[in-house]
A and B are shown apart, each in its own frame.
Chain A
């Protein structure tokens, strides 16, 4: 059993580090993890749930605002949603999503329709990718706990 736990912990550690290295996560995510403790054991999961909900909501707002069939495109509307997504993604440490929002915002300000549509598509792909990755990470955590082990603190140097 110990060998299994050790193996799972190693896997978990490696996987987490890779997420940082690939730019999915940044320091802010580490900070979030620090806030999780015995008093709030599911804090990170809760916050990420909220974040992904926000993503869905905001992306649909953006899509609606960029919909040419309803009339002229309201770039300020798009910009507002992008701005909010930027805020929440930076708060959870979703590095790639945040970076996308920065360029997305620039396109909005330039009223570059194609640029905005492209960014919207990318944001959609990006947040879903992150969600999958994090799900895998949480699954690993779950396995470790089920095997009777403790989830290790991963030090991102």
Chain B
């Protein structure tokens, strides 16, 4: 490829590297390119969002979890963070004829909480839900291919045992996303677990987390994927009272665009949106049923334990 001197001088260095490696043309933001706010708004509208199957939470988030942004889900153990991540991993595969994104997901599990039985439960409930909803011919046709096997084949699992393996997987993720262009969701469950073990040097941890935050934000915008990261809670002493706050410190708090805290209030589970650029701080009630993440007042179809 021959180029003239003026055209070389106009380009930015990163445009050269992307050209040399032959990366696919991404519809999203290119470094150094100036766009108008209207174009950004249109792009954001095209990106879409992932439904959570809780209509109240979807309404509070203006449609669902945003694609192209980083969302953080914090909560105490057992409150439902992994359940919400599994629900999103299935929901992103909802066919376009039903208004979904029909995309794939890569799930990075650091805690070992990805249990196959639960994914199967949630997937079965979603397939049942849409087979009841299918009205026209196109939707009924898509239900032929939207089944348990196809759902399971579109979720890619990586098991990371410590923060070094997590770093390694994130470094190799751009290659993976290039090979699998249908992937539109990255789930990291959880980021706190590996970073709170074996890392005594807090400044090293902070810098690693900042690097990780920059990596995921750039991946979210460059490849137009939604990134969902779960975080643990820790106790902070303030005015001789203890409060539950998200772990990993204040600096990590800047990494995500949207932050949702799942907590117990008495016997009710509540999802509080504490940080969001487009929604006001709201708290909605939810429940975890055998079918997955649902609204609090939604009647459950089956409550019995199944093998």
Partners in one complex: no
Which of A's residues lie within 8 Å of B, judged by CB? none
